[in-house]
Structure 1
Amino acid sequence: MGPRRLPLLVAALAGCLLPARGCVMCDPNVVEALNSLETDYLPGHLEAKHHKNVMKRVKQAVEAFKDLPIDEDSYMGVVDEATLEKAAWSLLKDLKRIMDSDVKGELFVKELFWMLHLAKDNFASYAAQFQKTERKVKFHQMEDMVLDCELNWHKISQGLTDYSFYRVWRNNSETLVSKGKEPTLTKTMVRPKDAGTYRCELGSVQSSPATIIYFHVTVLPKRIVEEIPSPNTETKDEVAPGEVPLDRPQTATTLQSQSPKPEKVLRRRLVGLLIWGFVVLIASVATV
């Protein structure tokens, strides 16, 4: 398959991400690309008797790209151009690797279908980012509530506009809370009345939004912070004005701590004996 035919196949496969495109095999570009694969590339890499069966399987694999594991009720049908280009170039690189390796026969068939299998998984992972999602978040009363609507692919995507946050009421009506380039909604000192459902929407230059996220907010009771006194802090008995503090009864431990140590008692006795010895000695000398 010539280099000019590869973008046709890639573009056709990329179109499978959009359910509105309908039948993939009805696209004339797909038909032309698959015909080129059969007439230009297969003859030099696979026996003629296997061409018909391989092409039948290739067409089935391409048609299977529209069967992505995506919930139709949550899929928004919008995939930005940057994401499509990323997936397309990934497929181009893998297909080029197979052709440059010049593999033939059964090994070529295995690598070709394994590449298509991985390409479908890549498209599914890219498309999954463009679904409506729901998040359950909890905040404590009197603390700040922050709802973040930004996804990792937003900054590198093109054709995106503003973030809009709505408060969704029980009757399904909505009130616009904020709109702008900031992807977060912040509310300080939340209260029980702030609990409920919020909807974030990232606009696009197309008619449909690129991202929709529902936040189900629960406001919990205020946190109770228990103050624990430091172990090094000495506590004293509180005395009211005019009152005389009463002495606390001394325990055995207190009395023991207040009594002199045996070493000090012995030292005092020795000093006393020495003093009396000197007194007796002086008295004896005086008498003589």
Structure 2
Amino acid sequence: MAWALWLWLWLALRARGCLHCDPGAARLLEELRGPFLLRQVPRDAELRARVAAVLQRGVLGLAEQPPGARGPAALIDEKTLHEAAAAFRRVMTRIRDNEFRDEQLFNEVMWGLQEVRETFQKIINRFQTLVYCLNKCGQLLQLLTDCKTCKTDIHTCSKDVHCGDRKLEVEEDEDLILDCALTWHHVSYGIKNYIFYRVWGHTEQHIVSGPDPFLVRKEVTVNDSGSYRCEMRDVKNMLCSQMQFQVTGEGGLPSRMERNPKHPGSQAPCSHPPDPTAPPRTGIDPRHLRQPPHRSPLFATVTPLGNNSVLPTVAPLRGPLTVPPTPWVPGALAHWTVWIVISSSTGLILLLLAGCFCFYHRQERAVKDDDDVESRLLRA
């Protein structure tokens, strides 16, 4: 069973691997193939050679193309290499620390290498799906390591640099934001420079350039509508991607006066010329004019008195004449409260002084009485 698995590894892992490009994994492999095998398999030289060959070919064979992969497994980035090397060190360190010997050691190494291979296939599949050449357009630059030579170089994923057109609608006095960033820009190697242009027919006007992928224009007007273009270039000024923007207004970029008729100086659009014979407008809504107060039926029936009219007599007052109570004044209560607090504090202080005086007088009297008693005893 062990020899069948070893033969499968021999046939399946013929390509060179990636783990020998990691210094930690390479040192651990040399330790296992050298001093460790001499210590754990001291008598059987043939078995020791078989274990050493399985270790060497198992590590070098991890560059084999995993099933369903869309890129060469011989290329790997630094993060994926460190993750695969960490899985290899974890499995091999467990075998080394358990002190397996002879045939048991051979079996543990075989099964350990199979576990490393499965883990490596998951890691490399994730790298090729989420990292390797994930751009749908443009030139993606990635710093990758060749597992056959352990050399690190810049790998270019070349596609059409034009990454589409975008249409934006914005109202006047709002902010216009042009976003030139794409999902794969964050994994592109090197410094990125974004350049924005205003397009006027067949000519272009440079607006701004720098590492920021956004262009913000505050409080746009009708003059800001039109075509824009942005580019992303690498440190060598090579064009990596570009996009076009067509900026229009919602309803033709309406002005603030049209959107807010109450704005000072705004006038409603007039479809007919004013009538010169019409009376001048005061600009006041008749609905807002002050209406005369409503009169009750009693006053409505009263007519002015004539010269010969007699004034009506006034009925005498019934009951005593009362005066309404004086309204409460907040300030007066506040003054009374202050005086009450001051008086209470003064009385308390005087009471404490009187108590201290009485106590002191009583102590002096007690001392004097003691002296009189002592003097009488001495005389007796």
Bin for the TM-score computed over the shorter chain: 0.3 to 0.5
**Structure ranking higher on relative contact order (CA contacts 8 Å, 6+ apart):** 1
Larger Rg: 2
Q: Return the TM-score normalized by structure 1.
A: 0.46
Q: Return the TM-score normalized by structure 2.
A: 0.37
